[in-house]
Amino acid sequence: TTIENANFQWSAPSNIALVKYWGKKDNQIPANPSISFTLNNCKTITLLSVVNKGDVNDFSFDLLFEGKPKESFRPKIQKFLERIVVYCPYLKQYHLTIDTENTFPHSSGIASSASGMAALAMNIMSLEKEICPSISEDYFYTKASFLARLGSGSACRSVKGQVVVWGNHAEVLGSSDLFGVDFDAMHEVFQNYQDTILLVDKGEKQVSSTVGHDLMHNHPFAEKRFEQAHENLSSIKEILISGDIPEFVKVVESEALTLHAMMMTSMPYFILMKPNTLEIINKIWSFRNETAIPVCFTLDAGANVHVLYPENVKEIVLQFIKNELVGFCQNGQYICDQIGQGANQL
Ligand code: PMV
């Protein structure tokens, strides 16, 4: 079927890795498997309008951010579309208008690449479904995750499910380097698990994650790190099933610090944490020691701190955050989020 014109709209959330993806091979193949919590409130909402151009020479597109043209985002989208067009040849027939916005403040230091690429991939799959209505739901979501991966690796974990594994792992049935898979066997203590994101530094990162991944080639600790990620994924899988929060805390914090240790031991070496990142970590450790409330932190490739805790201690932890941690945030800014379900058609 040829569609003359159509509009699609999807939202897709950000995600926060528990076992980190750091290091990749060609074609966005991860050097190690990773697992993440899908977020709920930090989302990208993308409207895709397509118009049949009447030729099949190549795709063309306009890019809008909050309704206005955004030149600086174009190269990333151009590269993404070039990468996926071999899997979505029908794109060549259309002029695409991509209008995107985030629910979180722009340049807040929250990467929008995962949510943004996932939202765009969902829209492209909606177009594919319109052209080819017989595709199954499973194919739809798997291919969406596959396409999102080609935009930004971690974006493949933002498509579907509360907890998503990406990367081949011997103990996770159906896991793949090519797309994320929903890990659905989760203990009830992790239901509505909270993630309060403390915005420590909203500036542009000094070293992009693309460069960071690259520095894992010839990294002196790379092989050991990749092995460790496999082991930690085995552990966290058991932990998510059994509900053992003290063990969860250990694995998750160790993963965050190991990620940053890899950065510090790259050549050239770099540090993305800021003094306030460490202040916050120490405060969290003191609070946990004093109260036995199982709150822990994780980090992505930046200075911001994700504070993770069960829903049943929400009141007291938010009080602690307001009293003791907000002072370390840039302009006192933080975002309250929790585990979510994945992308949504609007
Ligand atoms: O998806 P990328 O290439 O932006 O890499 C993300 C890497 C980390 O956020 C640091 C870890 C992860 O698994 O999300």
**Is residue 192 scored above 90 in pLDDT?**
yes
For the stretch 129-162, pLDDT in tens is 999 999 999 999 999 999 999 999 999 999 999 9
DSSP state of 326: G
Q: What percent of the chain has pLDDT over 70?
A: 99
CATH number of 193-338: 3.30.70.890
**Is residue 105 scored above 80 in pLDDT?**
no
* Nearest-angstrom CA–CA distance, 111 and 306: 13
Cα 143 to ligand 1 centroid, rounded to whole Å: 20
For the stretch 278-292, pLDDT in tens is 999 999 999 999 999
276 pLDDT tier (thresholds 50, 70, 90)? very high
Cα 304 to ligand 1 centroid, rounded to whole Å: 14
CA 205 from centroid of its chain's CA atoms: 16
For the stretch 319-331, pLDDT in tens is 999 999 999 999 9
Cα 21 to ligand 1 centroid, rounded to whole Å: 6
- DSSP string of 35-84? EEEEEEEEEEEEEEEEEE-S--S--EEEEEETTEE-GGGHHHHHHHHHHH
* Nearest-angstrom CA–CA distance, 192 and 206: 33
- The closest-lying atom of ligand 1 relative to the alpha carbon of residue 301 is 10
- What mean pLDDT is reported for the chain? 96
**Is residue 163 scored above 90 in pLDDT?**
yes
Mean pLDDT on 311-320: 98
Cα 212 to ligand 1 centroid, rounded to whole Å: 10
Give the pLDDT confidence score for residue 284 in this predicted structure.
98
Give the pLDDT confidence score for residue 108 in this predicted structure.
65
Q: And the tokens for 261?
A: 């240790």
- The closest-lying atom of ligand 1 relative to the alpha carbon of residue 24 is 3
Cα 154 to ligand 1 centroid, rounded to whole Å: 5
Mean pLDDT on 305-323: 98
Cα 293 to ligand 1 centroid, rounded to whole Å: 28
- Per domain, the residue ranges of the chain are 5-185, 193-338
DSSP state of 251: H
Residue in 14, 15, 16, 21 to alter for ligand 1 test, most ligand atoms within 8 A of Cβ: 21
Contact 262, 270 (CB under 8 A): no
Task: Let me know if 294 is exposed, middle or buried by CB neighbors in 10 A (0-12, 13-18, 19+).
Answer: middle
Check whether domain 5-185 has CATH 3.40.50.80, yes or no: no
- The closest-lying atom of ligand 1 relative to the alpha carbon of residue 154 is 1
Mean pLDDT on 216-236: 98
Cα 114 to ligand 1 centroid, rounded to whole Å: 8
The region that residue 222 occupies, defined by phi over 0 for left and psi between -120 and 50 for alpha, beta otherwise, is: alpha
Among residues 54, 123, 124, which one has the least CA distance to residue 89? 124
* Nearest-angstrom CA–CA distance, 1 and 3: 6
Q: C-alpha dihedral over 43, 7, 63, 29, to 10 degrees?
A: 60
114 pLDDT tier (thresholds 50, 70, 90)? very high
**Is residue 109 scored above 70 in pLDDT?**
no
Give the pLDDT confidence score for residue 107 in this predicted structure.
63
Residue in 260, 264, 300, 305 to alter for ligand 1 test, most ligand atoms within 8 A of Cβ: 300
Give the pLDDT confidence score for residue 1 in this predicted structure.
75
First-to-last C-alpha distance (Å) of the chain: 23
For the stretch 14-31, pLDDT in tens is 999 999 999 999 999 999
Q: Model's pTM, two decimal places?
A: 0.97
Among residues 316, 314, 319, 327, which one has the least CA distance to residue 279? 327
- The closest-lying atom of ligand 1 relative to the alpha carbon of residue 153 is 1
- The closest-lying atom of ligand 1 relative to the alpha carbon of residue 210 is 3
**Is residue 213 scored above 80 in pLDDT?**
yes
- The closest-lying atom of ligand 1 relative to the alpha carbon of residue 155 is 1
Give the pLDDT confidence score for residue 187 in this predicted structure.
96
DSSP H or E stretch at residue 280: helix 275-291
**Is residue 207 scored above 90 in pLDDT?**
no
Measuring from each residue's beta carbon to the nearest atom of ligand 1, which residues come in under 6 Å?
Answer: 17, 20-22, 34, 113, 152-154, 209, 213, 259, 300-301
